A and B are shown apart, each in its own frame.
Chain A
Amino acid sequence: MLEMKNLSKVYRTQMVETHALRGMDLEVRAGEFVAVTGPSGSGKTTFLNIAGLLEELTGGSYNLDGVDVKSLDDRARSKLRNEKIGFVFQSFNLIPDLNLFDNVDVPLRYRQLTRSDRKRRIESALERVGLASRLKHYPAELSGGQQQRVAIARAIAGDPKLLLADEPTGNLDSQMAREVMQLLEDLNAQGTVVVIVTHDPEIAARAQRNIHIVDGVAADLERGPSLVKTA
């Protein structure tokens, strides 16, 4: 459902041209759980931004769930992002002065939904991440792991086709990291495509498929005997 052909991204300043992505070909099909790895500066964050419609591509094509992204204006892209993609960030990025209910509510507000519809979705999303009892609490009152789970609830409240996560466990200890990964696997089992960008080989090992990006080019890694010891 995610199709990139010959994708390139060039950053131009007055003096310097940086080729963050060069002619990347990539296809992610329905139901897949993909980990994207690569050294710093390899372009994996750029890849995530473009996949998530946060940045525009310079060359090539990108097709998301059948829609060619290139021809879209800001409004259309925002709409597509809102409906098809769910984001999970390394630093949670919850809005501090909204409670959990209102935080999960944010993406739903940019759709034409009725109040009761939104309420239903929010409650069900928080239920799925196990935080339904703490609807009215504020992010500051939660642990890191709980905050990330709220972020995941926010990401799934709109029933997205694709879940993009940028180092989702980066700020969590190993126990919480395991909980979050379990949650993502459950979501994938229920039909959501999950793409995680990560440094962590342990995390990468849990994914069904690994893509490695080096110097702006992507390559699938064989999931053979792991190079790294799993815990």
Chain B
Amino acid sequence: MLAYYLDLARRSLARNVGLTILMILAIAFGVGASMTTMTVLHVLAQDPIPQKSHDLYNVQLEPRRMLGYQAGQEPPDQLTRLDAETLVRAGKAEHQAIMTGGQAAIEPGRTDLPPFFVDGRWTSADFFKMFDAPFVAGTAWSEDDDLHAARVAVIARELADKVFGSIDAIGKTIRVEGTDLRVIGVLDAWRPQPHFWDLNTGSFGKAELVFVPWSTSRELKLGHIGSVDCWAESSDSLALGASCVWVQFWVELHGAERVEAYRAYLEHYSDEQHRVGRYERPVNVKLRDVMEWLQYRKVVPSDVRLQTWIALGFLLVCLINTVGLLLTKFLRRSSEIGVRRALGASKRAIFVQLLVEAGAIGLIGGVLGLGLAWLGLFAVRHQPTSYAELAQLDLPMLAATFGLAMLTSLFAGLLPAWRGCQVTPAIQLKSH
């Protein structure tokens, strides 16, 4: 029966090509625009580390002075260096990592390759296992290395290829900001999106190419990139005792009990800081897991959300338009419908027949819409935004495009098909 209805649909659509094309185009453009924006949204709002995003938590403390205090404020997004170093040394969570972003000059020491700049991360040993960093050679450094400010580094394969010509870089020396560091690990290509552990260096930017132990980076005074927020004058805002927040701190905790226990520990720590006079504001501790953190920091640019809504509004108008056109199309065929009803077609049979016709438009519109979405994403990829290259159609989005097109056209077809099947055979024939 479906094959019969598809055949009838084909004939009907061919009978009035202009109208058919109009309806298909309306669906295609509506779906294309919507899928372009929704794919971008989907890509930007994705979970960067789905296998353990509920177990990784960002830590926030409230170390600021009373001046300017307002009840209900959020604590700063980052920690002071003193707080972070204390917490990482205390080691109360299953894993914890202190970190910040930096930039470093690399001197390959080759005449054919002048010095260049890369983004780096200054962090502690746990970083790599906490975030499932993929090693292609070697390992991360040890806690001991952290303690002794070892002159070691983990580099990305891109950097290894560039400086050493291959990923076989373990044991070799790389000159970072004028100091030789020994390469002990090489990371495979790794680019979690968003760049959740530090959103100050660009939410969707490229990944870091060199990782150096925190203690080492402080000894070598390696440069810092990111945001520094001070509430009191400091001669050196990156100094240990400075009243500035610029350090990120992440912990790994499994299970609600451990999370609560750690939260209690942080509150206890804040109380202690109060007692010694370092903290002035009321205790305000926040533990947010990865998705909560991304939502809190509004990682998805509001322009992207706005564009998605605009596209959906456009789709809505296309849908209404299609309803109207389908209605006229079906009602024009009242006499044919009347004949079929007289010959024994039930209302339901006519309803299904007309709905199949609407669905056929959705199918063709979906194919076209897919092409338009592909074009749209092509245009997005050429935008000068940090997330441009992520705008790709993956399989779920591809299926969603068809789903949306079919859903739209079938939904649009409901009212017209219902009206169409209400055509009473008697009255129609009388008018003939």
Q: Please name all residues of chain B whose beta carbon is closer than 8 Å to the beta carbon of A83 when the two chains form the complex.
A: 344
A95 within 8 A of B: yes
Given contacts A54-B424, A110-B349, contact A89 B432 (CB under 8 A): yes
Pick out which of these stretches binds chain A: B123-131, B225-233, B335-343.
B335-343
Residue contact B426 to A106, C-beta cutoff 8 Å: no
Segment touching B, from A61-69, A73-81, A129-137 = A73-81
A95 in contact with B425 given A79-B344, A154-B343 (CB within 8 Å) = no
Q: Which residues of B contact A97 (CB under 8 A)?
A: 11, 15
B336–A95 touching, CB < 8 Å = yes
Is there a chain A Cβ closer than 8 Å to B4's Cβ?
A: yes
Q: Which residues of the partner chain A approach B339 to less than 8 Å between Cβ atoms?
A: 89, 93, 95, 106
Q: Which residues in chain A, 77-119, are within 8 Å of chain B measured between CB atoms?
A: 77-79, 81-83, 85, 87, 89-91, 93, 95, 97-98, 106-107, 109-111
Are B340 and A74 touching (Cβ within 8 A)? no
Asked if A42 CB lies within 8 Å of chain B CBs, one says: no
Tell me, in angstroms, the Cα distance from A78 to B344 when the chains sit together.
5
User: Quick check: A110 and B343 within 8 Å, CB to CB?
Assistant: yes
Residue of A nearest to B343 (CB): A107
Query: Does A202 have its Cβ within 8 Å of any Cβ on chain B?
Result: no
Number of interface residues of B (CB under 8 A): 24
In the complex, which of the residues B344, B346, B348 contacts A107, with contact meaning CB atoms closer than 8 Å? B344
CB distance from A108 to the nearest CB of B (A): 9
Q: Is B92 an interface residue (CB 8 A)?
A: no
User: Taking the complex as formed, is B375 at the interface, i.e. its CB lies under 8 A from any CB of chain A?
Assistant: no
From B1, B343, B345, B424, give the contact of A55 (CB < 8 A): B424
- A91: nearest chain-B partner, CB-CB: B432
Residues of chain B within 8 A of A124, CB atoms compared: none
B54 at the interface (CB under 8 A from A): no
Q: Which chain A residues lie closer than 8 Å to B335 at the CB level?
A: 93
Contact with B along A46-76 (1 / 0, CB 8 A): 0001001011000000000000000000110
A213 to chain B, nearest CB (A): 16
Chain B residue with Cβ nearest A93? B339
Cβ of B95 under 8 Å from chain A: no
CA distance A110 to B353 in the complex (A): 12
Query: Is B264 an interface residue when CB atoms closer than 8 A count as contact?
Result: no
Using A97-B11, A109-B1 as known contacts, say yes or no to A78 and B341 having CB atoms under 8 A apart: yes
B159 to chain A, nearest CB (A): 68
Q: How far is the CB of A67 from chain B (nearest CB, A)?
A: 15
A138 to B348, CA, bound (A): 28
Chain B min CB distance to A154 (Å): 7
- Contact between chains at A109 and B432 (CB < 8 Å): no
User: Given the complex of chains A and B, what is the CA–CA distance between A110 and B348 in angstroms?
Assistant: 11
Are A110 and B344 within 8 A (Cβ)? yes
CB neighbours (8 Å) of A87 from chain B are: 342-343
B304 within 8 A of A: no
Across-interface contacts of A45 in B (CB, < 8 A):
430
CB closest residue in chain A, given B342: A87
A78 to B347, CA, bound (A): 8
- The reply on B189 being an interface residue by CB < 8 A is no
B428 vs chain A, min Cβ distance (A): 9
Given contacts A45-B430, A78-B349, A97-B11, contact A106 B425 (CB under 8 A): no
Instruction: Tell me, in angstroms, the Cα distance from A111 to B343 when the chains sit together.
Output: 11
Q: How far, in angstroms, from A176 to B341 measured CA to CA in the complex?
A: 27
Interface residues of B in 340-380 (CB under 8 A from A): 340-349
Tell me, yes or no, whether B429 is within 8 Å of chain A by CB: yes
State the CA gap A81–B425 with chains docked (Å).
12
**A90-B432, A95-B336 as given contacts; A74 in contact with B342, CB under 8 Å:** no
Q: Nearest-CB distance from A94 to chain B (Å)? A: 8
Considering only residues 136-172 of chain A, those with a C-beta below 8 Å from chain B are 154, 158, 166
Residue pair B432, A93 in contact (C-beta under 8 Å): yes
Set of chain B residues within 8 Å of A110, measured between Cβ atoms: 343-346, 349
* Set of chain A residues within 8 Å of B349, measured between Cβ atoms: 78, 110
Residues of B contacting A74 in the complex (Cβ-Cβ under 8 angstroms): 346-348
Q: Using Cβ atoms and an 8 Å threshold, which residues of chain B touch A85?
A: 344
Asked if B348 and A75 make an inter-chain contact with CB atoms under 8 angstroms apart, the answer reads yes
Report the bound CA distance from A83 to B344 in whole Å.
8
Measured CA separation A212–B340 after assembly (Å)? 29
> When chains A and B are docked, how far (Å) is the Cα of A129 from the Cα of B343?
19
Tell me which of B4, B343, B430 has the highest count of chain A C-beta atoms within 10 A of its own C-beta. B343
Knowing A54-B425, A78-B349 touch, does A106 contact B430 (C-beta < 8 A)? Answer: no
Which residue, of A55, A81, A83, has the highest number of chain B Cβ atoms within 10 A? A81
Judging by beta carbons under 8 Å apart, are B426 and A55 in contact? yes
Q: How far is the CA of A5 from the CA of B346 in the complex (A)?
A: 26
- What's the least CB distance linking B289 to chain A, in Å? 55
Structural contact, B4 and A93, CB atoms closer than 8 A = no
In contact, A89 and B346 (Cβ under 8 angstroms): no
Contact between B424 and A78 (Cβ–Cβ < 8 Å)? no
Collect the chain A residues with CB atoms within 8 Å of residue B429's CB: 54, 89, 93, 166
16 intermolecular pairs with C-beta atoms under 8 Å apart: A49-B426, A54-B341, A54-B424, A74-B346, A75-B348, A78-B341, A79-B346, A81-B344, A90-B432, A95-B339, A107-B344, A109-B4, A110-B343, A110-B344, A154-B343, A158-B344
Given contacts A77-B346, A109-B1, A166-B429, 7 further A-B contacts (CB under 8 A): A49-B425, A74-B347, A78-B346, A81-B342, A90-B432, A98-B11, A110-B345
Interface residues of A (CB under 8 A from B): 45, 49, 52, 54-55, 74-75, 77-79, 81-83, 85, 87, 89-91, 93, 95, 97-98, 106-107, 109-111, 154, 158, 166
Question: Shortest 5 CB-CB distances between A and B: which pairs?
Answer: A82-B344, A78-B346, A107-B343, A49-B426, A54-B426
Which B residues are within 8 Å of any A CB, using their own CB?
Answer: 1, 4, 11, 15, 335-336, 338-349, 424-426, 429-430, 432
